[in-house]
Chain A
Amino acid sequence: SQQGEEDPQALSIQEGENATMNCSYKTSINNLQWYRQNSGRGLVHLILIRSNEREKHSGRLRVTLDTSKKSSSLLITASRAADTASYFCATDQTGANNLFFGTGTRLTVIP
């Protein structure tokens, strides 16, 4: 399979806590992207990390990439109820020229 795999499949935390989601993939990549999807809606791009980058920040988001382990993590700090959504990683794989998405992590932030 060319898709990434997110872990865990579901995560439930209290508001104010940090949420960490992981993504593993199998092939070499040009970049890896994280997207968010509210229930039944379209996906919204959050952050892109290139294969030569190890860490990237955007507001309360922190993304890491370990190409040797073919894995990435998304950390959301000081979570809010509005962060409740599904989060997907997408890999831009070398030579494929398309994005491949995983099944996502369903995050629930309890107020």
Chain B
Amino acid sequence: ETGVTQTPRHLVMGMTNKKSLKCEQHLGHNAMYWYKQSAKKPLELMFVYSLEERVENNSVPSRFSPECPNSSHLFLHLHTLQPEDSALYLCASSREQGSTEAFFGQGTRLTVV
């Protein structure tokens, strides 16, 4: 148990659906991250929030839309996804952006059909 909770753990959605992934941490961390993990590829950093402000968007398609309403919660809103977006989506947090240890949630296994 790392202190970072992601829901749902599994999600199957059609290409025309809209869904949201949720991440929550009560560790008092100031930075939160979304990563995408696909088979046999490095973890891809998608978005970074520091003190609730988005500080990085790594060329992620607009069908992925992050939201950070407060320092404890992070969402990833999904709409009109493609089958190649199927992956494990991992949320992480750290005390400060960058150089400190990252705490990961268990991930959401997303399947787009």
Q: Are A98 and B42 in contact (CB under 8 A)?
A: no
For chain B, the count of residues having a C-beta within 8 Å of the partner chain is 26
Partner pick for B105 among A3, A42, A92, A101, CB 8 A cutoff: A42
- In the docked arrangement, what's the CA distance between A67 and B33, Å? 27
- In the docked arrangement, what's the CA distance between A68 and B92, Å? 30
Interface presence of B34 (CB below 8 A): no
Interface residues on chain A, size class: 20 to 34
Among B2, B45, B98, B99, residue most surrounded by chain A Cβ atoms (within 10 Å): B99
With CB as the reference atom, state the residue of chain B lying closest to A45.
Answer: B101
Interface residues, chain B, with chain A CB atoms under 8 Å away: 2, 4, 6, 33, 35, 40-43, 45, 48, 56, 88, 90, 92, 97-99, 101-107, 109
Partner pick for A98 among B40, B97, B104, CB 8 A cutoff: B97
Interface residues, chain A, with chain B CB atoms under 8 Å away: 3, 30-31, 33, 35, 40-45, 48, 88, 90, 92, 96-103
- In the docked arrangement, what's the CA distance between A20 and B31, Å? 32
- In the docked arrangement, what's the CA distance between A95 and B88, Å? 28
6 further interface pairs, Cβ-Cβ under 8 Å (given A3-B42, A101-B42, A103-B42): A40-B109, A43-B43, A44-B2, A44-B104, A45-B102, A97-B98
- In the docked arrangement, what's the CA distance between A88 and B106, Å? 16
Q: Are B101 and A42 in contact (CB under 8 A)?
A: no
Partner pick for B99 among A30, A35, A41, A102, CB 8 A cutoff: A30
Q: Are B48 and A98 in contact (CB under 8 A)?
A: yes
Q: Are A101 and B43 in contact (CB under 8 A)?
A: yes
Residues in B neighbouring A100, C-beta threshold 8 A: 42, 45
Among A35, A40, A43, A88, residue most surrounded by chain B Cβ atoms (within 10 Å): A43
12 A–B contacts, CB within 8 A, in A order: A41-B106, A42-B2, A42-B4, A42-B6, A43-B92, A43-B102, A45-B102, A92-B98, A97-B98, A98-B33, A98-B45, A103-B40
What's the least CB distance linking A42 to chain B, in Å? 4
